[in-house]
A = this chain, B = another copy of it.
Amino acid sequence: MCAIKIPESHPRYESLKTRNKLVLGVKKGIVCLEGLIAHGRGEAYDYLLGEKTTEFAKDAEYAASALLLVSKNPVISVNGNVSALVPKEISALSEIIRCPVEVNLFNRTVKREKLIEKIFSGSNIERKKEERIPFLESKRAFVSKRLFVSDTVLVPLEDGDRTEALRKMGKNVISIDLNPLSRTSQTATVSIVDNITRAVPNLISFSNEMKNYKAEDLMEIFGNFDNKENLRKTINLIKEKI
């Protein structure tokens, strides 16, 4: 295994620190090797976006915060990479939103699932997977009752199949995915095209700002957001940057 030692002054410090967290996650058994490859794909798009939160991503994060707060039964669904990169931030967000966290792994092993659930043990975590998402073949279909009846699911770093299946169930899906062209981004209700290490802190700060807003005001913020248009602008931004 290789380790990278990088001084804080390095121009790509943040990106390299993130990589180190994932490498450490692999050593702890939290992150899957496939997760490292997926992270690399994200890095390529982050590079094209200038490695910062775009104004369009900020708009999506603002709308997503309003949607999470106004939802009756929101749930946050996490995987290995999310757990390695922003565990405290996800716990903090789940407290503000008052919603459970549920672990759902693409390359699931019971051992890895238990390790990750331990990370979120201070949070309101859903463990019992008694229901099944229709239109989804894989074991990822097994979910808790809470997620099954939820109205909104925040799925950072989700795959397209599951996003589509959740949408088919009539749920609002908030995705965090650096590829604006992915099936996940193209299918979600609110598609946040941003690095998860920047997106989740932004969701925390917007949710804190809005947590005492009236439901009708939250609905208006969410209603004013046009996801298709926002994605189009992000794709155009990448075209310009290239």
Among A40, A47, A179, A235, find the residue whose CB has the most chain B CB atoms closer than 10 A: A40
Query: How big is chain A's contact interface, by range?
Result: 20 to 34
Q: Quick check: is A219 within 8 A (CB to CB) of the other chain?
A: no
Copies in the complex: 2
A109 CB to closest chain B CB (Å) equals: 8
Q: Contact check, B34 vs A33: say whether CB atoms are below 8 A apart.
A: no
Stretch at the interface among A18-26, A60-68, A129-137: A18-26
CB within 8 Å of B: which A1-54 residues: 1-4, 19, 22-23, 26, 32-34, 36-45, 47
Q: Contact check, B34 vs A23: say whether CB atoms are below 8 A apart.
A: yes
Q: Which B residue sits closest to A178, measured CB to CB?
A: B44
A33–B28 alpha-carbon span in the complex (Å)? 13
Question: What are some 19 contacts across the A-B interface (CB < 8 A)?
Answer: A1-B32, A2-B34, A2-B107, A2-B109, A3-B107, A19-B34, A26-B33, A33-B36, A37-B43, A38-B40, A40-B40, A40-B41, A40-B42, A41-B43, A41-B44, A42-B44, A44-B45, A238-B242, A239-B239
